[in-house]
Structure 1
Amino acid sequence: MQRSLTTIGFDADDTLWQNEQFFKLTEARFVALLGEHGEAAEISGRLLEAERRNLAFYGFGIKGFVLSMIETAIEVTKGQASAMVIGEILAAGREMAAHPVETLPHARETLEVLAGDYKLVLITKGDLFDQERKLAQSGLGDFFDAIEIVSDKTVATYQRIFARHGDGAERAMMVGNSLKSDIWPALEAGAWAVHVPHDLTWALEHAQEPQGQARYGKLADLGGLAGFIAELAEADPR
């Protein structure tokens, strides 16, 4: 008899390793750099709006963030941003791209437990070069049967990936920290979805938590995932 769950997708940033904290630290540095041109909250708000506008052009990740910071600096200085300011922004971006990877608690042991029993797929969005770098530095790559670095996470994305690397979305699960990108589209594709919240989540990834969804689960950390999956198997031992 076939098992109901055969494939598990994992988000990367802020699910397997730290990510948003480095964006927050860089944003604080950027706001301080432009402190004489406005209040911190105003500058941060204008940066967020620039990021929102630019997603369609630059996508997710450090490069788009750096370009949005440069655009915001030009805006708030009314076109007077100095070469020094632009240089500081570029340097901050390079530092982000070179920062050591810090895996989150229970990431490695959870993958170790699940690998072999399930097909594991890393599903992450962002800059290809940066995501490949972080995966290599994390030491987690060997646990995955497939790696998918995508421009965005939509219902069609999950349907395509779980059909390509598994037995379809109906027999797959997505695990991640973003309700907007990891949970809702996976549920709408027909998969299970497990939310593992992170203390820091980018404002553009916020969404309402699902209510009354039979295939939705929420865990405090990755340490509870294997037990959660075991309970699913007991409830439906096909």
Structure 2
Amino acid sequence: MHKLQIEGLTKTFGGLTAVNNVAMHVDDNEIVGLIGPNGAGKTTLFNMITGLYTPTSGQLLYQEKDITGLKPDKITDIGIARTFQNIRLFPMMTALENVMIGLHTRTHSTMFDSILRTKRHRTEEKNNIQRAMEILEMVGLESKQDEYSKNLPYGEQRKLEIARAMASNPGILLLDEPAAGMNENETAELTGFIKGLKGLGMTVLVIEHDMRLVMSICERIYVLDYGSKIAEGVPKEIQSNPQVIEAYLGKGA
């Protein structure tokens, strides 16, 4: 059984076909890459998986259940979480508070509980703080728990966004260009961190332009060009694929 299965997914905007009849899958506890030149349709595909866009045609299956066209909150509820190309943290909240926001999708206290500070609310809040600290420790940010997110270095902000996505306890984590804007040292650290997610039992689908990172962490890779899938395979196969080389470097390559 595939964790995530995409069948004939297409998205058009007026006369433009951004994603064209794409089929792919991600298995449990696997790190899969999605690459391609700028404008290839990678983020559009992510936006359909996470409910921001409704597919024009095709089907999305998560653990064999049809999730095509579900809203983002429902997608999160069933176990799919993501990060974005542009960091979307709450700048005036601390690192701890940002992670706790991610935990709210798994809380059960009502507004009534919150206002009256019921025992259920107090217990859940205590548990959430403890869990948020555990997640911050996983990403190496436990010492920054009280820092406003806007004051963290860029690389740490990226890790905090991943931590917030992890807080919803997802079955699959979608990372949209996690190394964007990072320097060489930060990218190397991120590479080790993403590899470590597999050891935690997580399933990851990642969009990334840094080929060194992609080739070192991904077990399989899909390649899009002009919205269509042009290749799939293990890193060695992708590196030597003529269509992939042409898509990135042109026919002269």
The answer, yes or no, to whether TM exceeds 0.5 is: no
**Structure-2-length-normalised TM-score:** 0.28
